[in-house]
Structure 1
Amino acid sequence: MDNEQRSSLIQHWEELRSRLIVSILAIFLTTALAYIFSDAILYLLRAPAGDIKLQAFSPMDGFMIRFRVALYGGVFLAAPIWIYQLLRFVEPALLPDEKKFVIPGAIAMVGLFLSGNVFGYLMLGHMLQVLFAMFGSQLDYLPSAEQYISFVVYFLVATGIAFEMPILILALAKFGIVTPAWLRRQRKFIYFGIFVLAELIVPAADPIVAPLVVMIPMIMLFEIAVFLTRFVVPKRLSQLTTTASSPSTVATSSNR
């Protein structure tokens, strides 16, 4: 390794270190802020459970639960900062026409994740009622506060990640892995996959109406992503795909 490569590697490590420090510091500060309001956050997380009382099994549970709630809230509140730091770190590896998507991409990722959190929170009450009803009259459900909070947080994170689907599709289209034409051809299979996912996320006595509530926003996000892919897919690949799928090309191929 020559001096130039060694210097470049050191610069990359220094940049990674500085961006990690900024991200960790931001999470530390937002966690401290969230701890001050941990009672209010805990109330919001507990509200969907209704009259179910959460149990504590250790003298330290009160502190540990508030600390975990504050940590989750800190990571959540600091998301714009650490996502921005991550994108700025990978920015030098991007092409000039790709760098212009860094800031809009960060805003879109945060916005979609927050939208998924809000949607998941609105669905949480109904889903918990269905899950609690499965215990029947023969069992009493006495959840620990730690288990309940973990379940709620993981569910909200899952819905937030699910709402990142447009970003994933646009990234795949940008690198030429998928095309708008291919996505349109696979639409019925993708719809079916969304329906199966909705059935797994929202268990209910009615296997149609409740999953439809989950499916509708997911399908809308998918269709928006398909529409936007035509603006990010490489032009040469788009032209080849259009030519290959045109009726004249198909007719010529069949004549041969």
Structure 2
Amino acid sequence: MPRVARPGRPHLPRRRERDPEGRMSLGDHLREFRRRVLIAAVTVLVAAIAAGLNYERIFDFLAEPFNDYKRSNPQSTISLNFGEATSAFSNLITLSIFVGVLAASPVWLYQLWAFIVPGLTKKEKRISLAFIAATVPLFLGGCWLGYIVLPQSLQLLYGFSPSGTSNIQQVSDYFAFVTRFILVFGGGFLFPVFLVAFNAVGILPAEKMIKAWRVAVVLIFVFAAVATPTADPMTMFLLALPLMALYFMAYGVARLIDRRREKARPDWLDASDDEASAL
């Protein structure tokens, strides 16, 4: 007599056990990527909704560098202007998403890191956890530096306006400039995170980092010149100089990781082919 399935809880597929060595198939990688993107997106959405409820405070905070220039130059005709009926609503959505990305940075930065380095050993994961804790302060610190530098950049850029002209600034254009400016500084400060990540997985030894420091300095200045939305050299230097310092700090961390790795390396691996090893 055939066995009749009992009604009740539906049969759920068992979750696939993780490989102890951290190996994953292509399908597992794609599912892992989808899961982490979903977590990051939901977190950003929740933070953006909270930011939308505090829109006026955020608007005043980001408009303060503009208002500071206006107060220090009372002879100039300058103002923020909503050009269309939908501009105010569009600006609310844009600023809410921007603040949501910043506020949710601890979550999506962790999701990014966890997806990049799933196959590390327990010892390497302990080292990387300390570095994960540094990603959020670095990113937010870079964003804060961008906000601090912003008034000087506006002073320089608006200073090129000929006498007798006015700067009727569209709100959407101004906040697009401000958010891009701040995010460039925040993203640039994550540069050492990826350097140490590549070192932790064995792709970038510390020795190669110090040998290529001249090339790295040139690339940092090129990145600062291209990434900053202003054409003034002052802003480029204010981004490039901290990145250079962070590069050498990343080298120091990578050097410590390499030394620990060398101490844990068995001596018999260094024996020559014609020499009997201790093994």
- Choose the corresponding residue for 2:142, options 107, 116, 119: 116
User: C-alpha displacement at 1:106, in angstroms?
Assistant: 2.8
Counterparts in 2 of 1:8-47, with a 5 A limit? 15-47=32-64
More deviation, 116-125/8-17 = 8-17
Report which stretch shifted further, 174-183 or 153-162. Answer: 174-183
Question: Displacement of 1:14 after TM fit?
Answer: 5.3
1:25 deviation in Å? Answer: 2.3
Q: Deviations over 1:126-176 (max 9, x none)?
A: 011111112222542222111111111111111111111211222233344
Q: Compared with structure 1, are the counterparts of its residues 81 and 175 closer, same or farther at alpha carbon in structure 2 (3 Å cutoff)?
A: closer
Compared CA separation, residues 187 and 23, structure 1 to 2 (3 A): closer
Give the Cα separation in 1 of the matches to 2:31 and 2:63: 42
For the structure 1 residues 115 and 67, does the alpha-carbon distance in structure 2 shift closer, same or farther, using more than 3 Å as the test? same
Deviation at 1:212, TM superposition (A): 5.0
- The amino acid that maps onto 1:43 is D
Q: After TM superposition, give the deviation of residue 72 of structure 1 in Å.
A: 0.9
| More helix as a share of residues | 1
C-alpha distance in 2, partners of 1:90/1:210?
31
The 5 A counterparts of 1:83-232 are 83-137=109-163, 139-195=165-221, 201=228, 203-204=231-232, 213-232=238-257
Kindly indicate whether the alpha-carbon contact (under 8 Å) linking 2:120 and 2:201 is maintained by their aligned counterparts in 1: no
How much has 1:182 moved relative to structure 2?
3.4
Q: In structure 2, what is the Cα distance between the partners aligned to 1:185 and 1:143?
A: 47
Q: Deviations over 1:47-104 (max 9, x none)?
A: 1123241111111111110111011111211111122233334554334433334533
Work out which of the two has the higher radius of gyration on C-alpha atoms and give 1 or 2: 2
Measured in 2, the distance between the counterparts of 1:28 and 1:134 equals 39
* TM-score normalised over the length of structure 2: 0.69
Q: Which deviates further from its counterpart, 184-193 or 52-61?
A: 184-193
Instruction: Assess, with a 3 A threshold, how the Cα gap between structure 1 residues 136 and 87 changes in structure 2: closer, same or farther.
Output: same
- Cα RMSD (Å) of the superposition? 3.1
Q: Indicate how the Cα distance of structure 1 residues 15 and 63 shifts in structure 2: closer, same or farther if over 3 A, else same.
A: same
Extract unaligned runs of 5+ from structure 2: 1-15, 17-23, 71-77, 266-279
